[in-house]
């Protein structure tokens, strides 16, 4: 087949447009970050490091090879903030918002892309949801920025406090994990500070619930009911945060490198924050490298699950984990149907949850094996870094700054795949499927 024929046959499906769109934004961001004006010293950031940083910002991850607070100038930090905002909300969401401001019509194809980008089951009400996305994002980020600025005005000049408040509100709400405090220390200065902890956790959880859930919660006083999706997201999110806080508190209580040096109140806040941040936020208030191996592995599991569909976070998503648990319980009880909150789930939903989980697991395993051959570090450190990249979390045990060039490329690809989702990426790369004209006879295979 000739090249022209292949191009004519190639279709710009929504998944392919999303992949290309994110790739273009990353490259534009990388080129801007290589400019001398982007660094505080006036030196050019190497292209590979700029590409890694732009990927981390656009994929709202937070893994960094240079310290954000000291290396980048105000211009460079502004570029990162824009990449985080665009990456968190999605470039199609931002494009649609501009189109709505200019009163342009949203075409059917654009609605299909938005449906894919927002992970919605149908196009119905998709444009209304985009409007709500803008309102909710600006409102929550604005409140977070104000509270941060007030708190930090006691520690720094008012102008700097406002700048830090706005910048970190964008980073936290979009679950990016970038910070400006320097020396790769994130929020460790405020491990036992109730205000910083509450504001940061509020932003992280709000961004990680998903905009459909936020819309449902905003309309709850009037409708007096929640959708099945919202119930599943809220219940699993609350369960994971509560269990995570208890486990971390128990495992790290006497660890002098983490919770051991804090009083009971500080232990509570630090445990709760470290349970929330694997929702793919990436900020931390205690030294991640100082955690016990059991806690580090537990956080790997939380990062793998991640946030919720249609949110600013990554991972396999809380709803996927909920469906898998539901399917397991149904099998144990000998039930044919998976039932959640008195609703039966379609078989297609269960197949999708299993497929997404297997794709994600395969990606993490392959990348961990690859990095184990290129990086001379402990296996758990490599697994932690890969899972953090896949879940677009940004938590690190300190491996990222020491990555080889090949390691940076592999982690960048993992972040990219994690932000778009393995299934979306697979749909984008697959050829157009041919319609099957027949079905094979049913067979049986022994399981277990």
Predicted confidence (pLDDT) per residue in 82-131, tens digit = 999 888 876 556 656 655 555 666 666 556 655 555 555 555 566 676 77
Chain centre to alpha carbon of residue 194: 24
The burial class, CB within 10 Å (0-12 / 13-18 / 19+), for 352 is: middle
Contacts of residue 321, defined as CB under 8 A and 6 or more positions apart, other chains included, come to 236, 305
In a domain, 173, yes or no: yes
In a domain, 136, yes or no: yes
Tally of CB atoms within 10 A around 342: 6
CA distance 130 to 90: 11
pLDDT band at 66 (very low <50, low <70, confident <90, very high): very high
CA distance 399 to 240: 26
CA distance 211 to 259: 34
Residue 243: per-residue pLDDT: 96
Residue 71: per-residue pLDDT: 94
Residue with the bigger pLDDT between 68 and 99: it is 68
- Residue position matching structure tokens 């600025």: 149
Residue 433: per-residue pLDDT: 54
CA distance 57 to 61: 6
Contact 167, 200 (CB under 8 A): no
The burial class, CB within 10 Å (0-12 / 13-18 / 19+), for 31 is: middle
At residue 374, does pLDDT exceed 70? yes
pTM over 0.75: yes
Contact 284, 179 (CB under 8 A): no
pLDDT band at 328 (very low <50, low <70, confident <90, very high): very high
Q: What is the mean pLDDT of the chain?
A: 85
CA distance 304 to 111: 30
Pairs from 118-126 (Cβ < 8 Å, separation ≥ 24): 118/90, 118/93, 118/211, 118/212, 118/310, 119/210, 119/309, 119/310, 119/421, 120/212, 120/310
Which of these, 63, 154, 21, lies nearest to 397 by C-alpha position? 63
- Residue position matching structure tokens 């050829």: 431
Tokens for 118? 């927002």
CA distance 323 to 340: 8
Residue 224: per-residue pLDDT: 83
At residue 32, does pLDDT exceed 90? yes
In a domain, 331, yes or no: yes
In a domain, 262, yes or no: yes
In a domain, 5, yes or no: no
- Residue position matching structure tokens 């090879």: 65
**What one-character-per-residue DSSP string does 18-47 give?**
HHHHHHHHHHHHHHHHTSGGGBTTSPPPPH
Which of these, 438, 412, 431, 430, lies nearest to 56 by C-alpha position? 412
Write out pLDDT tens, residues 198-214: 999 999 999 888 888 88
Residue 313: per-residue pLDDT: 79
In our burial notation (b when 16+ CB lie closer than 10 A, e otherwise), range 238-250 reads eebbeebbebbbe
CA distance 179 to 69: 7
At residue 408, does pLDDT exceed 60? yes
Tokens for 406? 């090949």
CA distance 51 to 55: 6
CA distance 213 to 92: 20
Which of these, 51, 46, 8, lies nearest to 30 by C-alpha position? 51
- In the chain, how many domains are there? 1
Ranges 18-22, 303-307, 381-385, 437-441: which has the least confidence: 437-441
In a domain, 447, yes or no: no
In a domain, 228, yes or no: yes
Ranges 6-15, 44-53, 148-157, 434-443: which has the least confidence: 6-15
In our burial notation (b when 16+ CB lie closer than 10 A, e otherwise), range 177-190 reads bbbbbeebebbbeb
Within a 13 Å sphere around the CA of 99, how many CA atoms are in the beta-carbon half? Answer: 14
CA distance 248 to 266: 13
CA distance 370 to 357: 20
What domain range includes position 131?
10-429
In a domain, 446, yes or no: no
Tallying the residues shown for the chain, one arrives at 448
């Amino acid at each position: 087949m000739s090249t022209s024929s292949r191009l004519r046959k190639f279709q710009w499906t929504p998944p392919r447009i999303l992949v290309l769109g994110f790739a273009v934004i990353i490259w534009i961001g990388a080129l801007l970050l290589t400019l001398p004006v982007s660094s505080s010293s006036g030196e050019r950031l190497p292209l590979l490091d700029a590409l890694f940083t732009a990927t981390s910002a656009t994929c709202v991850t937070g893994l960094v090879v240079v310290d954000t607070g000291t290396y980048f100038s105000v211009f460079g930090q502004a570029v990162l903030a824009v990449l985080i905002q665009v990456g968190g909300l999605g470039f199609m969401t931002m494009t649609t918002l501009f189109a709505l401001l200019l009163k342009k019509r949203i075409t059917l194809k654009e609605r299909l892309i938005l449906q894919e980008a927002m992970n919605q089951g149908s196009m119905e009400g998709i444009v209304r949801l985009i409007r709500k996305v803008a309102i909710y994002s600006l409102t929550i980020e604005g409140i977070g920025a104000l509270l941060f600025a007030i708190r930090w005005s006691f520690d720094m000049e008012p102008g700097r406090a406002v700048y830090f408040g706005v910048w970190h509100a964008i980073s936290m709400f979009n679950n990016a994990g970038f910070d400006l405090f320097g020396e790769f220390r994130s929020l460790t200065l405020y491990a036992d500070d109730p205000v910083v902890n509450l504001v940061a956790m509020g932003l992280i959880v709000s961004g990680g619930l998903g905009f459909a859930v936020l819309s449902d919660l905003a309309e709850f006083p009037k409708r007096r009911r929640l959708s099945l999706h919202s119930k599943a997201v809220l219940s699993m999110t609350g369960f994971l945060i509560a269990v995570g806080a208890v486990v971390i508190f128990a495992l790290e209580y006497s660890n002098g490198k983490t919770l051991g040096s804090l009083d009971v109140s500080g232990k509570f806040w630090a445990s709760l924050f470290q349970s929330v941040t694997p929702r793919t936020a990436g900020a931390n208030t205690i030294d991640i490298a100082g955690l016990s191996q059991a806690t580090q592995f537990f956080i790997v599991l939380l990062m793998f699950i991640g946030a919720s569909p249609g949110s600013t976070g990554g991972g396999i998503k809380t709803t996927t984990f909920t469906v898998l648990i539901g399917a397991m319980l149904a099998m144990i009880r000998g039930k044919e149907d998976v039932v959640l909150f008195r609703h039966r789930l379609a078989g297609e939903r269960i197949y999708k949850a299993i497929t997404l989980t297997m794709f994600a697991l395969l990606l993490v395993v392959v990348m961990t094996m690859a990095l184990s051959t290129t990086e001379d570090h402990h296996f758990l450190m490599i697994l932690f870094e890969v899972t953090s990249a896949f879940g677009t979390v940004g938590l690190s045990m300190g491996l990222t700054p020491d990555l080889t060039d090949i390691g940076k490329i592999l982690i960048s690809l993992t972040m990219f795949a994690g932000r778009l989702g393995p299934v979306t990426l697979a749909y984008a790369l697959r050829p157009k499927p041919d319609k099957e004209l027949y079905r094979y006879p049913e067979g049986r295979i022994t399981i277990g």
